[in-house]
């Protein structure tokens, strides 16, 4: 059996049956193997950042890894930003990078580069396959490594000759490492803190933001008065009717400092202590108030939900009633603004939806407007590398074809990986993309004012942050890439278009013209 087939069979045997790819010559045998391993679904992306972001989105929803197939160092480079986001999301990704044949490397042909070096930036586990016979075992090891815990990007570099040579054999799946238990004394210590009467915040991240974690956290909060917080950019947060909504720590450091100001203790549940996203002149990087003690209840290797349940038991916390909630917003009418856009989404979000949220400033009001809607999953920009939202929506839709996906996108961010729309069309994915088109890198206009440019920023600086001259017509761009699209300039139009897009299967895009909020 050729190495390529052994590679693909081992993936499938380990449960990895989806591969987002942008292959080149050195990966042609992997591509050819698709016809021998029908269990593997190949999903073509027109740019590598779409493939890597899709693998991230897939893992967030499927709970297990997809594979990515990339073409040498430059392909990996193009996929790097979304692998950075996947690293921050702590999701499993099996990242297969093709390379020149072993004997060809020394000739330093045009595409030769140092793949390992680039991969290490995003992938703690990097291995180069050394022989065709070892392909199977290396793939099985990569899948296990990707699962961690915690989940991570595992990069396997595969020289072309080892895929085309015979002598490969599929390998048995490798059992991933078990999640370690949290010591009872840690749980009891946190329980004592919670009973102390001092102000305590429970900062939930990662695996704590699923249904089980939220229910246990709600019991803890109800029994002790602890404040429930969520990390700023969760990988996946379950939300909606019946679920408690922790307060997400603000991206804006000044607001976050206020949110945390009264806390004497911060309990970390699969979350890092909050730090400023960027540094600003004269502003501290750490956001917790001086004297606030931190206590790690669970880290990324633990089963955060189970540990929260342990904690609830240790506190004898009774089951908590479903939170009352304020109900869904009415369908808005009148001007289209970030607020009415959020209300449209809140009014129409379907049961079981997945929201890929990369709307940045224009999405400011969307979480509040959807909190009391039907149950849904909320996916965010975990690593700050924009261009993640459309690819993550792609992968989420592939992982859960029965769930409607909404990509809530910023105009600037959408353009980094706009090629994702074509994959939406080709695969018939049920993704409704709403581009919040404010014709600006609005977040940067805000940042320009925040970073201490004490003189008034001038027109030449502002010009580097605006996205008009010319205005971008996302209707045209989407239609060019095969996705039906409409433009909304009023809230009424958006409501009609969004309702229709959500009702029809397959991809749609709405170019929602909104004024900047900042």
Window 311 to 370, contacts with a copy of itself (CB under 8 A): none
Near a copy of itself by CB under 8 A: residue from 17, 63, 77, 124: 77
Q: How far is the CB of 120 from a copy of itself (least distance, A)?
A: 6
SS3 349: coil
The one segment of 174-182, 292-300, 362-370, 467-475 that binds a copy of itself by CB under 8 A: 467-475
Question: What is the sign of the dihedral through the CA atoms of 108, 111, 116 and 117?
Answer: positive
Q: Which residues pair with 158 in a beta bridge?
A: 98
Q: Of 483, 504, 506, 486, which is closest to residue 494 (Cα–Cα)?
A: 486
Cβ(436)–Cβ(518) under 8 Å?
no
Q: Is 113 in the site for a copy of itself (CB under 8 A)?
A: yes
Instruction: Quote the CA–CA distance of 266 and 286 in Å, as a whole number.
Output: 13
Instruction: Indicate the residue among 49 and 213 with the shorter CB distance to a copy of itself.
Output: 49
Rg over CA atoms, the chain: 24
- Using CB under 8 A as the binding rule, the residues of this chain from 283 to 302 that contact a copy of itself are 285-286
| Count, residues near a copy of itself per rule CB under 8 A | 102
Instruction: Indicate the residue among 312 and 481 with the shorter CB distance to a copy of itself.
Output: 481
Q: Is 477 in the site for a copy of itself (CB under 8 A)?
A: yes
Near a copy of itself by CB under 8 A: residue from 426, 489, 490, 518: 426
The position carrying tokens 């700050």 is 384
Q: How far is the CB of 517 from a copy of itself (least distance, A)?
A: 17
Near a copy of itself by CB under 8 A: residue from 9, 60, 84, 302: 84
Instruction: Indicate the residue among 197 and 458 with the shorter CB distance to a copy of itself.
Output: 458
Q: The sheet that has 41-44: what strands, in order across it?
A: 41-44, 18-21, 67-71, 93-99, 153-159, 125-128
Q: Of 244, 232, 237, which is closest to residue 312 (Cα–Cα)?
A: 244
Near a copy of itself by CB under 8 A: residue from 240, 373, 383, 389: 383
Instruction: Indicate the residue among 24 and 350 with the shorter CB distance to a copy of itself.
Output: 24
Near a copy of itself by CB under 8 A: residue from 363, 367, 387, 404: 387
- Using CB under 8 A as the binding rule, the residues of this chain from 40 to 69 that contact a copy of itself are 42, 44, 46-47, 49
Q: Of 436, 431, 408, 404, which is closest to residue 420 (Cα–Cα)?
A: 431
Convert residues 247-286 into a mask of x (bound to a copy of itself by CB under 8 A) and - (unbound): -------------------------x--xxxxx-x---xx
Instruction: Indicate the residue among 225 and 255 with the shorter CB distance to a copy of itself.
Output: 255
Cβ within 8 Å of residue 118, ≥6 positions away: 73, 76, 77, 80
Near a copy of itself by CB under 8 A: residue from 461, 490, 499, 506: 461
Phi, psi torsion values for 389, nearest 5 degrees: -65, -50
Instruction: Indicate the residue among 37 and 187 with the shorter CB distance to a copy of itself.
Output: 37
Q: Is 506 in the site for a copy of itself (CB under 8 A)?
A: no
The position carrying tokens 């992982």 is 399
- Using CB under 8 A as the binding rule, the residues of this chain from 127 to 156 that contact a copy of itself are none
Q: State both tokens at 339.
A: 């607020």
Neighbours of 472 (CB within 10 A): 18
Instruction: Indicate the residue among 73 and 373 with the shorter CB distance to a copy of itself.
Output: 73
Q: Which residues pair with 67 in a beta bridge?
A: 19, 94
Cβ within 8 Å of residue 434, ≥6 positions away: 341, 345, 359, 406, 407, 408, 409, 494, 498, 509, 510, 512
Instruction: Indicate the residue among 80 and 226 with the shorter CB distance to a copy of itself.
Output: 80
Instruction: Quote the CA–CA distance of 236 and 210 in Å, as a whole number.
Output: 7
Near a copy of itself by CB under 8 A: residue from 62, 81, 379, 393: 81
| Distances 249 to 232, 261, 276, 340, 385 between C-alpha atoms, Å | 5, 12, 10, 23, 19
Instruction: Indicate the residue among 112 and 337 with the shorter CB distance to a copy of itself.
Output: 112
- Using CB under 8 A as the binding rule, the residues of this chain from 439 to 458 that contact a copy of itself are 443-444, 447-448, 451-453, 455, 457-458
Near a copy of itself by CB under 8 A: residue from 169, 465, 496, 518: 465
Q: How far is the CB of 90 from a copy of itself (least distance, A)?
A: 12
Q: What is the DSSP letter of 151?
A: P
Q: Of 49, 43, 23, 20, which is closest to residue 414 (Cα–Cα)?
A: 49
Q: How far is the CB of 267 from a copy of itself (least distance, A)?
A: 19
């Amino acid at each position: 059996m050729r190495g390529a087939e052994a590679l693909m069979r081992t993936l499938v045997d380990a449960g990895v049956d989806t591969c987002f790819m942008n292959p080149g010559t050195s990966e042609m045998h992997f591509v050819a193997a698709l016809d021998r391993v029908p269990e593997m679904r190949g999903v073509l992306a027109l740019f590598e950042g779409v493939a890597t972001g899709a693998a991230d989105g897939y893992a967030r929803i499927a709970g297990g890894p997809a594979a990515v197939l990339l073409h040498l160092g430059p392909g990996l480079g193009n996929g790097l930003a979304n692998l950075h986001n996947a690293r921050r999301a702590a999701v499993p990704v099996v990242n297969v990078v093709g390379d020149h044949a072993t004997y060809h490397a020394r000739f330093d042909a045009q595409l030769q580069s140092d793949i390992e070096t680039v991969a290490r930036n995003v992938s703690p586990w990097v291995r180069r396959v050394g022989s065709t016979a070892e392909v199977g075992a290396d793939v099985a090891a990569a899948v296990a490594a990707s699962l961690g815990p915690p989940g991570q990007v595992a990069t396997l570099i595969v020289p072309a000759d080892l895929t085309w040579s015979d002598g490969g054999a599929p390998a048995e799946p490798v059992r991933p490492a078990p999640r370690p238990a949290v010591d009872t004394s840690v749980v009891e210590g946190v329980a004592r803190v919670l009973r102390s009467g001092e102000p305590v915040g429970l900062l939930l991240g990662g695996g704590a933001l699923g249904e089980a974690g939220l229910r246990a956290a709600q019991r803890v909060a109800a029994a002790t008065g602890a404040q429930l917080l969520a990390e700023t950019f969760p990988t996946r947060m379950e939300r909606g009717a019946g679920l408690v909504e922790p307060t997400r720590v603000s991206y804006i450091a000044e607001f976050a400092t206020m949110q945390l100001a009264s806390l004497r203790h911060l309990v970390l549940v699969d979350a890092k202590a909050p730090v400023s996203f960027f540094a600003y002149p004269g502003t501290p990087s750490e956001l917790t108030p001086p004297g606030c003690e931190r206590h790690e209840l669970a880290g990324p290797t633990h089963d955060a939900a189970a540990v929260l349940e342990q904690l609830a038991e240790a506190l004898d916390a009774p089951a908590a009633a479903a939170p009352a909630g304020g109900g869904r917003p009415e369908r808005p009418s009148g001007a289209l603004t970030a607020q009415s856009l959020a209300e449209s989404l809140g009014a129409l979000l379907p049961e079981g939806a997945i929201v890929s949220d990369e709307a940045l400033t224009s999405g400011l009001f969307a979480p509040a407007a959807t909190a009391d809607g039907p149950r849904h999953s909320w996916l965010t920009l975990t690593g700050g590398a924009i261009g993640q939202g459309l690819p993550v929506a792609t992968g989420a839709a592939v992982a859960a074809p029965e769930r409607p996906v909404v990509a809530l996108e910023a105009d600037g961010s959408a353009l980094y990986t706009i090629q994702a729309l074509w994959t939406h069309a080709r695969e018939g994915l049920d993704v409704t993309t709403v581009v919040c088109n404010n014709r600006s890198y609005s977040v940067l206009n805000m940042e320009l004012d925040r970073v201490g440019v004490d003189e008034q920023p001038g027109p030449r600086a502002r010009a580097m942050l605006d996205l008009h001259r010319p205005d971008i017509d996302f209707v045209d761009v989407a239609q060019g890439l095969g996705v039906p699209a409409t433009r909304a300039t009023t809230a009424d139009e958006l409501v009609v278009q969004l309702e229709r897009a959500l009702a029809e299967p397959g991809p749609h895009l709405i170019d929602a013209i909104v004024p900047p909020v900042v």
